[in-house]
Amino acid sequence: MRHPRFRQGNRRGLTLVETMVTGGVLILVIGLLTTFTSLANRIFAASRADADTQTSAMTAIQTISRDLRNARGLHAVPSSNPARLQIQLPTYTSTGALLLPIQEGKVVTYQISGTRLQRVVDNVATNVADLGTGGAATFISTGGRDLNKNGTIEQPGEVTSVTVTITTRQVTYTGSKAYDRSFTTSQEVVMRNWQIPSTIQ
């Protein structure tokens, strides 16, 4: 019995040159994809660091500003802490209205502990924002007095506004690449109750 014979076409394998060209194109494509992915990761890391520094700074300045608007007096506390400020608040009713006649309320202290800005009331510290390594807070009162200087005490009537400056810093790593971002924002806060005498103990 005769077996049918299969006719083979003019088929052949890849030559060495074709294999090398195909491999080179493949390596080029992989290289481009890797570069694109790395670039995207770097852009994302830098954007995240920028967003974190801005968010922390704005949170800190908004929290401090709210207390300063209602402050009756200020006191820069002599301390090794590079940024510490005491704010005397008036007393409020349970509904949040200002109690009349005006009475002394709580004393709020802002201080930096490590990298965190803290708000301290009744010896209980609450973290307001992470300023990052190298972050800072400065308070300049009416007339250009630096409230960070030890021993500087502002008497009621001397202060009509305080300029708060917050600097935050964030370092983000992508592999071995470090992205160092910093952000500084300032706001002048007008004190609404500065005319009323008060004493900070």
Angle, vertex CA 156, rays to CA 153 and CA 161, nearest 5: 85
State if pTM tops 0.75. no
Would you state the torsion angle of the CA atoms of residues 64, 70, 75, 77, taken in this order, to the nearest 10 degrees? -30
The domain limits of the chain are: 17-190
Per-residue pLDDT in tens (0 to 9) along the chain, 201 residues:
555 555 555 556 667 777 888 888 888 888 888 777 777 777 777 777 778 888 888 898 999 888 888 887 776 555 555 567 888 787 877 777 777 767 778 888 888 888 888 999 988 999 998 888 888 887 777 666 666 554 445 555 566 788 888 888 887 776 677 778 888 888 888 877 655 444 443
Q: How far apart, in Å, are the Cα atoms of 89 and each of 36, 45, 71, 81, 183?
A: 54, 41, 5, 22, 29
How far apart are the C-alpha atoms of 121 and 66, rounded to whole Å? 15
For position 68, what pLDDT does the model report?
Answer: 86
For position 14, what pLDDT does the model report?
Answer: 67
Residue 110 structure tokens? 């802002």
For position 127, what pLDDT does the model report?
Answer: 92
Bond from prior residue into 101 cis (ω within 30 degrees of 0): yes
For position 119, what pLDDT does the model report?
Answer: 92
Residue pair 180/171 in contact (Cβ under 8 Å)? The answer is: yes
Question: Quick one: residue 57, left, alpha or beta (phi over 0 = left, psi -120 to 50 = alpha)?
Answer: alpha
Q: Look up residue 178 and give its amino acid.
A: A
Q: How far apart, in Å, are the Cα atoms of 199 and each of 26, 67, 85, 118, 125?
A: 76, 17, 15, 23, 22
> Which residues partner with 85 through β-bridges?
76, 110
| Helix/strand/coil (H/E/C) assignment for every residue in 38-51 | HHHHHHHHHHHHHH
For position 46, what pLDDT does the model report?
Answer: 73
Question: Quick one: residue 113, left, alpha or beta (phi over 0 = left, psi -120 to 50 = alpha)?
Answer: beta
- Residue 100 three-state SS: coil
Burial of 48-62, coded b for 16+ CB within 10 Å and e otherwise, reads: ebbebbeebbbbbbe
How far apart are the C-alpha atoms of 187 and 174, rounded to whole Å? 33
For position 200, what pLDDT does the model report?
Answer: 40
